Structure 1
């Protein structure tokens, strides 16, 4: 679905036109502020005595500068307080958060702080890291001023709509405004249905705002370019590769109908660009910064023009059901606390799955890696549907594991320029280094790193992380000859946004200056390990010394002989470690871009119950319905996004037809 691995050919052709895409916030972890203030005042452990007005004696009015770590970098603010300890202004001096997600969260939180004179503000759904960063920075500024932070943290923000209930009606209610939800709302409105679309964040587009390309089989653009896929072979291979544990009709529908989605989107003004990606038909989405506006324009032209509504910052709480178990609407809550009771003849679930719910992912799939998807996707949509009678699919638990990450990258970016900070990351994408699991045992032919899905799943099957072993001799070769020094077969197949900041340096022959210093910093930061001997490395990394030594000895023998009897790694990828240390272990983690499935649907996108009979009035599109295409995990390239748009388009039409009695 998102950000597939790139071949060398593609790196050359596409890097000129890709734009940095980053995720705006998800984990909810508060960042510790790193403040630079003027004037400065040291915060005390206990609150200083206050005068009769309640203002601490140590408080000094003025403008204070502070910063905290957001999702994508530092957020720096200037906070102005008057002599009554009132925050009169918060100016964002600098930030690098994602437009439409993190930036909107910063603006919203800033307004709420000033309006309520409070730090007791809820994080914006889907952008919690950005939200918590602005709160942390303002708190630090208050501390610098000697202000009463406890008072600011205790003031409640009154919700104007608390206790109020409104009734709304529609033909079709769509829950979730990502690619699938927007497509469903638009196509339903085009069929004459009055549509109400609700979205719990302030952003329209969901993961499609962060995605790279979608697959629309045999689109008019693909065919006109001379590339045409054999539909029957594609369907047959798909079913076999998923061990027949898929809905063959659903696979056929996507493969045969997705090409029409390309023309449909183009007609709506959402223009994708076809590329021949090594024989695959991929379609790049519009420029990142334009996508939300394009989707909003689609909704305005269809949903709103047809008398419907688009309600953001409105969270679905439960599904309404009738006496016979049919779904009749949705109960939701607006940001101001108002309860909405929205009745509809068809309800379409498009809430994006549960990949941000760590406990749910671990229980369903055993995965403990990184959530690279949206922080708001925590599974409440699935739970609402299950409570309304939907079946939990037999293959429930699949995930979209699609990238490798080096834990060291972010901290190193604060110490080194982007190319150097990415040294450890690049080693995780090359087949020339030894890979071991947490125990120290080697677990794969490292050539798996050349294919995104293979790299991700082989690692995830062996623990929460894996370790890439790099020796002094290998670092010395990288320092002098770049990746050519370790005989890299091609540039690391990282997503374009991973190297967008250093495309000019991202070459095989560019020497890795100060590589040893960077790797030392990685170990010092706790994001990797170093040992002067393999025994010391094993101890520092928490590996079993016996297990690691055996694996290391066997690997070195294979590198010298050119024959890997354990995993069959090709001779050209077997690189000796050298005779002496130090040795390093890079902590590599797998990025989960989204959960796959959770609701069982038929080809009309009706949600099925335990008897595999439709739950009347309930539909599902996008990731939550994608389990019909896969066995236990996503293995596609651009399919996630292509299916989201296609299932939304078709599911919206089906929901409208049922609602209108057509």
Structure 2
């Protein structure tokens, strides 16, 4: 689950601190981590002299990035790009590092022919657009400056390394695998395509470690056999029962293992569920790097960041014997090993792949670098594509309007549409105009996400003038909201003091008008007009609306059985608004079939010698067609990494003997 409970100022400070640590310990190669040098690129052809011709001065450019506006000040001499100052930027560690990397490449190469940084493509594109805008203002020839492409300093060079175990990917599962393998006595090399260690665990909220010592001490104990039985039934038996048993019975040990390693989680009795809140955000990457230093590097291994795996190396027998990767400077890195562990985080950022496998067209809320290379490499090496391939971790609802509204309104006001997507009191319809669920599903994150995704790329939340007036006068209590919207804490961190049921929604009508003007919602003075403007079928929507209105009068929802307390009258006069609500995908689930030793299986369900998988890419053994857990994603990542690393090391060391 991707949730945060820090206040906004603390959150901002924490992320900045994390970024600073990441840049100091990652990009500069300090802290005993073998990171790739940042001085990597030069243009294939230097820009022609007339391309480097400007009206000297300082110019400003900006562009929308993934999380916010990126603004730069570019200083131009008559024949050079002298300096780039990043005035405002996003707060993501990967995104912030990407900005600095692109800035350096532009200044060093005097070129705009720059490749996007792995894991930060949207941020990279926005940075380039902002710089290009400023250069144009100074009379620069952007087309000429972008010509020729980029030649990397290491192109054509090959570096060869050897290890007992190679781990591809340095998120929670990859780090855990590398550390336990090294603790078993294996020489380990772990490679990571970005400059950041920790992956999605740096963003996660809590993990589930069944019957951990902390849970037991707090008097919360799960009936293991019932949990396993219910899990299997709830996933329609299309799971690996042995894998589920292993996770449920072994994950508690992971809590103690992490604690001994200095990665301290805090037990939380979450309505009877055993959740363990991860450490403070700003400490996570630092702790994981320390774990790697004290195990992997201490045992003669290496941690290599900004290096992307490209292909698994196999022998004539089909055994996997290594991995070929590309370093940031273009150097080909060939690492041979006895065991190779894939921990590359899945493919949720690959929109085409997600749509093809799952039919989902919503938002990727996970990491931009997770585009499926690890899966494709493994499939090419003979790995089976699981029968249940395609599952995703759909976990949050988003209002398309929020980002643009925040440029004009305070965070609380800008979040009005978002908050309504989490309440059961409003009519929800699909793109055709038909209702598709009891809106009480909005009270449970997984139910809300999956019911929506099953009905299209988005759904619409209908709000009437009468309901908007009630919100303006009495806040969410005016529409009888049963509780505060169940949004992740980071969604309301900026306005936590205003986030109450009774707080009146001032300027609500102006906010909803702005939503429509921005193209992120629809308005109609009549039901028919709203249907037309929103692209719904007018006849279907009118029938849906009439039935819903009748339900609000009688208190009986004959279509979906929604409780009478949530059936709030919509009035009889416009205007009416439709909020565009989309679902957030936190990550893909599965893609490689593994056994309980985390060996990757081929089409005959026989282990491929030398190949292992942990984390999200192996998680398909736990779920049927989509993720329905709470804290399982991060709990399984740490647990599968811990166990898979041990197995990979044991096998590798036997081969050495």
The normalised TM-score by structure 2 is: 0.92
* Aligned mates of 1:83, 1:546 — CA distance in 2: 64
Q: Partner of 1:65 in structure 2? A: 60
Q: Partner of 2:537 in structure 1? A: 544
Q: Partner of 2:69 in structure 1? A: 74
Q: Partner of 2:30 in structure 1? A: none
How far did 1:56 drift?
A: 7.9
Decide which of 138, 150, 157 is 2:150's aligned counterpart.
157
Q: Note if 1:390 corresponds to 2:390.
A: no
Q: Is the 8 A contact 2:15 2:282 kept in 1?
A: no
* Aligned mates of 1:241, 1:211 — CA distance in 2: 25
* Aligned mates of 2:464, 2:51 — CA distance in 1: 59
Decide which of 107, 113, 116 is 2:109's aligned counterpart.
116
Q: Partner of 2:398 in structure 1? A: 405
Q: Which deviates the most, 163-172 or 69-78?
A: 69-78
Q: Relative to structure 1, is the Cα distance of residues 16 and 529 closer, same or farther in structure 2, using a 3 angstrom cutoff?
A: closer
How far did 1:93 drift?
A: 1.9
Decide which of 79, 82, 101 is 1:88's aligned counterpart.
82
Q: Is the 8 A contact 2:51 2:145 kept in 1?
A: no
Q: Is the 8 A contact 1:118 1:156 kept in 2?
A: no
Q: Relative to structure 1, is the Cα distance of residues 18 and 449 closer, same or farther in structure 2, using a 3 angstrom cutoff?
A: farther
Q: Note if 1:602 corresponds to 2:595.
A: yes
What are the superposed Cα offsets for residues 229-273 of structure 1, whole Å, 9 maximum, x if unpaired?
A: 111111111111111111111101111111111111111111111
Q: Note if 1:206 corresponds to 2:215.
A: no
Q: Partner of 2:650 in structure 1? A: 657
Q: CA RMSD in A?
A: 1.8
Q: Note if 1:216 corresponds to 2:209.
A: yes
1:338-377 map, 5 Å: 338-377=331-370
* Aligned mates of 1:65, 1:465 — CA distance in 2: 36
* Aligned mates of 2:577, 2:218 — CA distance in 1: 47
Q: Partner of 2:610 in structure 1? A: 617
* Aligned mates of 1:499, 1:155 — CA distance in 2: 46
Structure 1 unmatched runs, 5+? 5-10, 25-51
Q: Partner of 1:631 in structure 2? A: 624
* Aligned mates of 1:486, 1:140 — CA distance in 2: 46
How far did 1:224 drift?
A: 1.2
How far did 1:292 drift?
A: 1.4
Decide which of 250, 258, 277 is 1:257's aligned counterpart.
250
Runs (4+) of structure 1 exceeding 4 A deviation are 14-18, 20-24
Q: Partner of 1:288 in structure 2? A: 281
Decide which of 227, 233, 255 is 1:234's aligned counterpart.
227
Matched residues, number: 624
Q: Partner of 1:2 in structure 2? A: 2
* Aligned mates of 1:15, 1:277 — CA distance in 2: 20
What are the superposed Cα offsets for residues 526-559 of structure 1, whole Å, 9 maximum, x if unpaired?
A: 1110000000000000000010000000000001
How far did 1:568 drift?
A: 0.4
Q: Is the 8 A contact 1:2 1:638 kept in 2?
A: no
* Aligned mates of 2:108, 2:173 — CA distance in 1: 36
Q: Which deviates the most, 212-221 or 568-577?
A: 212-221
What are the superposed Cα offsets for residues 483-505 of structure 1, whole Å, 9 maximum, x if unpaired?
A: 00000000000001111100000
* Aligned mates of 1:107, 1:390 — CA distance in 2: 38
* Aligned mates of 2:648, 2:50 — CA distance in 1: 59
* Aligned mates of 1:16, 1:151 — CA distance in 2: 43
* Aligned mates of 1:72, 1:385 — CA distance in 2: 32
Q: Relative to structure 1, is the Cα distance of residues 346 and 596 closer, same or farther in structure 2, using a 3 angstrom cutoff?
A: same
* Aligned mates of 1:601, 1:621 — CA distance in 2: 9
SS in 1 for 2:578: strand
Decide which of 432, 450, 461 is 1:439's aligned counterpart.
432
Q: Note if 1:418 corresponds to 2:411.
A: yes
Q: Is the 8 A contact 1:97 1:130 kept in 2?
A: no
Q: Relative to structure 1, is the Cα distance of residues 281 and 536 closer, same or farther in structure 2, using a 3 angstrom cutoff?
A: same
Q: Is the 8 A contact 1:2 1:640 kept in 2?
A: no
SS in 1 for 2:164: strand
Q: Partner of 2:94 in structure 1? A: 101
How far did 1:295 drift?
A: 1.0
SS in 1 for 2:230: helix
Decide which of 54, 68, 86 is 2:50's aligned counterpart.
54
How far did 1:65 drift?
A: 2.5
* Aligned mates of 2:575, 2:73 — CA distance in 1: 45
Q: Relative to structure 1, is the Cα distance of residues 322 and 55 closer, same or farther in structure 2, using a 3 angstrom cutoff?
A: closer
How far did 1:218 drift?
A: 1.3
What are the superposed Cα offsets for residues 45-85 of structure 1, whole Å, 9 maximum, x if unpaired?
A: xxxxxxx952687x32122222222222122222222232x
* Aligned mates of 2:535, 2:512 — CA distance in 1: 18
* Aligned mates of 2:119, 2:148 — CA distance in 1: 24
* Aligned mates of 1:512, 1:276 — CA distance in 2: 33
Q: Relative to structure 1, is the Cα distance of residues 309 and 478 closer, same or farther in structure 2, using a 3 angstrom cutoff?
A: same
What are the superposed Cα offsets for residues 459-487 of structure 1, whole Å, 9 maximum, x if unpaired?
A: 11111110000000000000000000000
Q: Partner of 1:33 in structure 2? A: none
How far did 1:172 drift?
A: 0.3
* Aligned mates of 1:268, 1:159 — CA distance in 2: 38
